[in-house]
Amino acid sequence: MSDSAPDLAGGMRSWRWYLSRVMRLFLRWFRLCPQRGRRKRHSRVRDLWNYGKVILKSLYYNILTNSDTVLDCAFEPIYWVVDNLTRWFGVVFVSLVISLTSSVVIIVYLCMLPVILNTYPLHWILWHLCYGHWNLLMVVFHYYKATTTHPGAPPQETSDVPTVTICKKCIIPKPARTHHCSICNRCILKMDHHCPWLNNCVGHFNHRYFFSFCLYMTMGCIYCSMSAKEMFLDAYNAIESYYQTPAPAYTHQERMVHKSLVYLWVLTSTVTFALGALTLWHAVLITRGETSVERHINRKERKRLKLKGKVFCNPYHHGTINNWKMFFAVEKPSHWLTRVLLPSSHLPHGDGLMWDCPKYRNNTMAI
Active site residues: 195
Closest listed residue to residue 132, CA positions, set 215, 219, 230: 219
Residues 153 and 191 sit within 8 Å (Cβ to Cβ): no
Distance CA 100, CA 143 (A): 14
- Total residue count of the chain as it appears in this document: 367
Distance CA 285, CA 2 (A): 117
Distance CA 25, CA 33 (A): 12
The string of DSSP letters for 47-65 reads HHHHHHHHHHHHHH--TT-
Collect all residues with Cβ–Cβ distance below 8 Å to 292 and sequence separation of at least 6. Answer: 192, 193, 282, 285
Helices 252-288 & 207-227 angle (0-180, nearest 10): 140
Residues 177 and 278 sit within 8 Å (Cβ to Cβ): no
Closest listed residue to residue 183, CA positions, set 200, 166, 167, 203: 200
The string of DSSP letters for 123-138 reads HHHHHHHHHHHHHHHH
Distance CA 259, CA 319 (A): 48
**Helix, strand and coil in the chain, % to nearest 5:** 65, 5, 30
